[in-house]
C-alpha cells in the first residue's frame, strides 16, 4: 500500500530538482524572458528615428500626399543604405533610374519652387537618415506622419518598395537577384520601359506584370529583331487592364 505514495514522492522530488536546476541556469545566463519550453518569444524591439523640425513641418503633407511620402522615404533609405553599405551606396539611385521611377516629382509638388527650401529639406532628410539603424526595422517619425521601414528589406524589394515600403517579400521579377546585379542590368531598363511601375492598376495585375517583366528581361538578353517581336507579343497577351 505504501509503494504508490512512495513512487509519487520520488517523481515529485525529481521534478523539483530539474526545475531548480533550470532556474539556476536561467539566472546564471542573465535571461529574464520566458523559457523556450513555454513557447513564448520576446517581441522584436523596433527602433525609432524622429525627424527634425524642418522636415517634421511637412509631415501633414506627407500624410495626404503619398507621392511625396514615397520620395522622402526613398531619399532617407538611400542615404542610410549608403552610410551602412558604402560599397553599394549608389545602387538604389541607379535602380531608380533603371526603373524610371518618378523620384522627386512628388516632393517637388509639395515643396514648390525655390532651391534654398529644397536644399534645407534635403539636409533635414540626411539628418533623419543618420538616425536610422543599419539593421532591423525602424519607425520613421516625421511630424504626424509615420512609416516603418527596414533598409535591407527595402533594397531587396526595390524598385517595387518605392511604392510599398513594407512589402512582405520581393516580387517575382526581383526575388533572388541582388540589387547591384539588377541595377547594372540594361535589360531591366527594357522590362520597366514596356511595363512601368508608376501607373496604378488593379491588384490582380501585379504578379502578371512582374512575371512578364522577368520574361521580357530574359528575351532582351537574347537580342535581335526576333526578341523584340516576342517582347511585343508577350505584352499584348496580357489582359488589357494589365498592359
Q: For 162-198, how does the pLDDT look when each residue is reduced to its tens digit (9 = 90+)?
A: 999 999 899 999 878 999 999 999 999 999 999 999 7
DSSP state of 147: E
Average pLDDT in the chain: 83
The overall longest dimension of the chain from CA atoms, in Å, is 96
Q: What is the pLDDT of residue 42?
A: 56
Judge residue 179's burial from the number of C-beta atoms within 10 Å of its C-beta, 0-12 exposed, 13-18 middle, 19 or more buried. buried
Q: For residue 136, which phi and psi values (nearest 5 degrees)?
A: 85, 170
| Confidence check: pLDDT of 19 > 50 | no
How far separated are the first and last CA of the chain, in Å rounded?
84
Residues 28-85: pLDDT tens digits?
444 334 344 444 455 567 899 999 998 999 999 999 999 999 999 999 999 999 999 9
Grid coordinates in use for 70?
Answer: 514615397
pTM: 0.79
Distance separating alpha carbons of residues 67 and 55, to the nearest angstrom? 16
Amino acid at each position: 500500500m505504501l509503494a504508490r505514495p512512495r513512487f509519487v514522492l520520488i517523481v515529485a522530488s525529481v521534478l523539483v530538482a530539474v526545475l531548480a536546476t533550470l532556474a539556476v541556469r536561467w539566472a546564471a545566463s542573465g535571461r529574464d524572458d520566458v523559457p523556450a519550453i513555454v513557447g513564448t518569444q520576446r517581441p522584436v524591439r523596433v527602433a525609432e528615428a524622429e525627424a527634425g523640425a524642418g522636415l517634421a513641418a511637412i509631415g501633414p503633407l506627407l500624410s495626404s500626399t503619398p507621392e511625396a511620402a514615397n520620395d522622402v522615404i526613398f531619399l532617407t533609405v538611400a542615404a542610410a543604405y549608403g552610410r551602412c553599405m558604402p560599397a553599394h551606396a549608389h545602387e538604389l539611385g541607379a535602380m531608380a533610374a533603371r526603373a524610371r521611377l518618378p523620384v522627386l516629382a512628388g516632393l517637388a509638388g509639395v515643396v514648390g519652387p525655390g532651391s534654398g527650401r529644397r536644399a534645407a529639406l534635403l539636409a533635414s532628410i540626411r539628418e533623419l537618415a543618420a538616425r536610422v539603424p543599419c539593421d532591423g526595422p525602424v519607425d520613421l517619425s516625421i511630424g504626424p506622419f509615420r512609416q516603418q521601414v527596414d533598409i535591407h528589406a527595402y533594397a531587396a524589394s526595390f524598385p517595387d518598395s518605392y511604392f510599398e515600403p513594407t512589402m512582405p517579400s520581393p516580387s517575382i521579377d526581383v526575388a533572388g537577384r541582388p540589387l547591384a546585379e539588377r541595377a547594372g542590368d540594361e535589360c531591366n531598363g527594357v522590362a520597366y520601359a514596356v511595363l512601368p511601375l508608376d501607373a496604378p492598376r488593379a491588384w490582380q495585375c501585379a504578379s502578371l506584370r512582374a512575371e512578364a517583366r522577368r520574361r521580357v528581361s530574359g528575351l532582351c538578353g537574347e537580342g535581335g529583331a526576333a526578341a523584340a517581336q516576342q517582347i511585343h507579343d508577350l505584352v499584348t497577351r496580357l489582359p488589357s487592364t494589365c498592359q
